[in-house]
Amino acid sequence: MVTTVALAVVLVGLGLAGYLGARQTSRSVARARGLDLALSVRRALVLSDGRHQEALQEAVEDMAEQGLRYAAVVIPGQGVYAEAGEPSGPPLSPLRLARPRGEDQWITPVGDDRIRVVVPLLAGPAERRSRLEGIGGLKGFRKRGPGARPILVLEYEPVAAAAITSRALAMLLISVAAGTVLLGAGVVFWRMSRRTEAMSEQLARDRQLKALGEMSAVLGHELRNPLAALKGHAQLLVEQLGVDHPGRRGAETVVREAVRMEELTSQILEFARTGAIDPRPVSPPDLARAAVEESGLAGIDLAVEPDLPPWPLDRARMERVLVNLLRNASQATGGDGPVELSVSRRDEGLVFEVRDHGPGIRDDDVQWIFEPFHTRKVRGTGLGLAVAKRIVEAHDGRILVRNHAEGGAVFTVWLPQRPIPHW
């Protein structure tokens, strides 16, 4: 991505440098063209044999393709002696043509697209005397007086210079467009590469979870029968031992731990199970009330939005999700804190939210909290939230966790609307 950005910047920079250089070149070309037109018009006047007006008219017509639009001979202090073409503004005033001090010629832009060239018609005193005396084409200027040095004024459109600037501007726009396309392509390829990496990581994770599920299934099945035998014999031993027998307490401990191991194997088998869900129309309020009752917890604050329609769900598995979330919330508050469960519609989906009032989720646990076997509980397995996530995703839904602004954690389950099957 860095290389792409660098290439785009270099490309645009080259286009900008070329455009700026072309503008400088066009100014030089425009100045050279103006002086060349002035020399051509002056030569036409010299060869006009006194027909100055006709010479100017012919020059403007002949040099129209070169951009010449107006030509005039002005006598300072007296006015326009002869002119041809259309000036860019009001009639010329000799006062407005006073040249800068110390300069015999100058070029200035006038209007939107013209350049004015002002040069002396006669190059110097010696030339002026020789031409006035020997060239009939300029004899008409003898009568203007000794201090009346005629000035040649031209207005022209810098056609060649404008073409250079236009081509350079076109190249600049092309380079900017190419740079933009290059950046866009770079962003697209960068996103595609990131997506490919994410997909590769997801595939690797899915393979790992699949292997873990298969191992868990084998382990759960292999442990279930020995645990059942162990628990049965321990229960039988507890029944045969008297209340005051010194071995009864140990036997009860064996039974209790065997029950806990059975629960663990059940969770492992539930995590390993990847069967398809069986969605049927379910009343969301009834599902929430059943989950509260199944959790065995007291003091749960249930809030249900009125008029919720039936929703296509796998009731048993979604009830398992809510029971896990409610029990986790109760454990987060120490078993005696308030737990809130709400059911509502949001973003065209059904939303269950479970909030506790405990310490919240640590920032470094947020991205791992739904991973299997990730837990900070002393006696936890880390499978409850992993199972919940798999069940929700099987419904094409999402499960998220965040910390509430007023304290505690909030687990949100969002389930999309599916077509309700008909039987």
Q: Which fold has domain 166-272?
A: Helix Hairpins (1.10.287)
pTM of this structure: 0.46
Report the run of H or E that residue 387 belongs to, with start and end.
helix 384-394
**Which range is most confident: 144-158, 242-256, 330-344?**
330-344
Tell me how far apart the alpha carbons of residues 121 and 43 are, in angstroms, rounded to a whole number. Answer: 10
Asked whether the predicted pLDDT for residue 249 surpasses 60, the reply is yes
pLDDT of residue 367: 73
- What average pLDDT does the segment 261-269 reach? 68
pLDDT of residue 129: 43
Mean per-residue pLDDT of the chain: 78
Tell me how far apart the alpha carbons of residues 211 and 202 are, in angstroms, rounded to a whole number. Answer: 14
Asked whether the predicted pLDDT for residue 353 surpasses 90, the reply is yes
Non-local (6+) Cβ contacts of 120 within 8 A are 104, 105, 149, 150, 151, 152
Tell me how far apart the alpha carbons of residues 53 and 50 are, in angstroms, rounded to a whole number. Answer: 9
For 301-316, the pLDDT digits (tens) are: 999 999 899 999 989 8
Do residues 238 and 294 make contact, with C-beta atoms less than 8 angstroms apart? no
For 186-209, the pLDDT digits (tens) are: 788 888 888 888 787 767 766 766
Could you tell me which of 321, 283, 322, 332 has the C-alpha nearest to residue 304? Answer: 283
pLDDT of residue 218: 63
- Give the pairing type, strands 79-85 and 68-75: antiparallel
Do residues 309 and 358 make contact, with C-beta atoms less than 8 angstroms apart? no
For 362-387, the pLDDT digits (tens) are: 877 777 787 776 565 545 556 778 88
Q: Is 183 helix (H, G, I), strand (E, B) or coil?
A: helix
Domain extents for the chain? 2-157, 166-272, 280-416
Tell me how far apart the alpha carbons of residues 71 and 74 are, in angstroms, rounded to a whole number. Answer: 10
Q: Output b/e per residue, 285-317; b: 16+ Cβ within 10 A.
A: eebbbbbbeebebeebeeebeeeeeebbbbbeb
Task: Give bridge partners of residue 301 from the DSSP assignment.
Answer: 340
Candidate CATH numbers 3.40.50, 3.30.450, 3.80.10, 3.40.1350; the one for domain 2-157: 3.30.450
Tell me how far apart the alpha carbons of residues 35 and 408 are, in angstroms, rounded to a whole number. Answer: 84
- What average pLDDT does the segment 352-358 reach? 92
Asked whether the predicted pLDDT for residue 350 surpasses 90, the reply is yes
Task: Give bridge partners of residue 74 from the DSSP assignment.
Answer: 80, 151
Residue that wins the pLDDT comparison between 279 and 373:
279
Tell me how far apart the alpha carbons of residues 90 and 110 are, in angstroms, rounded to a whole number. Answer: 12
Do residues 288 and 282 make contact, with C-beta atoms less than 8 angstroms apart? no
Tell me how far apart the alpha carbons of residues 249 and 25 are, in angstroms, rounded to a whole number. Answer: 103
For 29-41, the pLDDT digits (tens) are: 878 888 888 888 8
Could you tell me which of 398, 423, 422 has the C-alpha nearest to residue 412? Answer: 398
Tell me how far apart the alpha carbons of residues 180 and 189 are, in angstroms, rounded to a whole number. Answer: 14
pLDDT of residue 221: 61
For 62-74, the pLDDT digits (tens) are: 888 888 888 888 8
Residue with tokens 């100017």: 56
Tell me how far apart the alpha carbons of residues 138 and 50 are, in angstroms, rounded to a whole number. Answer: 6
Q: What percent of the chain has pLDDT over 70?
A: 77
Cα 273 from chain centre:
41
Non-local (6+) Cβ contacts of 134 within 8 A are none
pLDDT of residue 283: 94
pLDDT of residue 399: 92
> Binning pLDDT at 50, 70 and 90, where does residue 148 land?
low
For 86-133, the pLDDT digits (tens) are: 887 765 655 455 454 444 557 777 767 788 888 887 755 544 444 433
Asked whether the predicted pLDDT for residue 423 surpasses 60, the reply is no
Tell me how far apart the alpha carbons of residues 316 and 104 are, in angstroms, rounded to a whole number. Answer: 101
Non-local (6+) Cβ contacts of 20 within 8 A are none
- What average pLDDT does the segment 385-408 reach? 88
Phi–psi pair at 340, nearest 5 degrees: -115, 135
- The letter for the amino acid at 60 is V
pLDDT of residue 344: 94
**For the chain, give me the number of helices (H) and strands (E)?**
8, 12
Non-local (6+) Cβ contacts of 304 within 8 A are 284, 285, 288, 342, 343, 344
- Give the pairing type, strands 300-304 and 339-346: parallel
pLDDT of residue 33: 83
Do residues 164 and 120 make contact, with C-beta atoms less than 8 angstroms apart? no
Q: Output b/e per residue, 192-212; b: 16+ Cβ within 10 A.
A: eeeeeeeeeeeeeeeeebeeb
Asked whether the predicted pLDDT for residue 290 surpasses 70, the reply is yes
Task: Give bridge partners of residue 403 from the DSSP assignment.
Answer: 409
pLDDT of residue 167: 84
pLDDT of residue 322: 93
Residue that wins the pLDDT comparison between 179 and 308:
308
Instruction: Look up the CATH architecture of domain 280-416.
Output: 2-Layer Sandwich (3.30)
Tell me how far apart the alpha carbons of residues 117 and 74 are, in angstroms, rounded to a whole number. Answer: 13
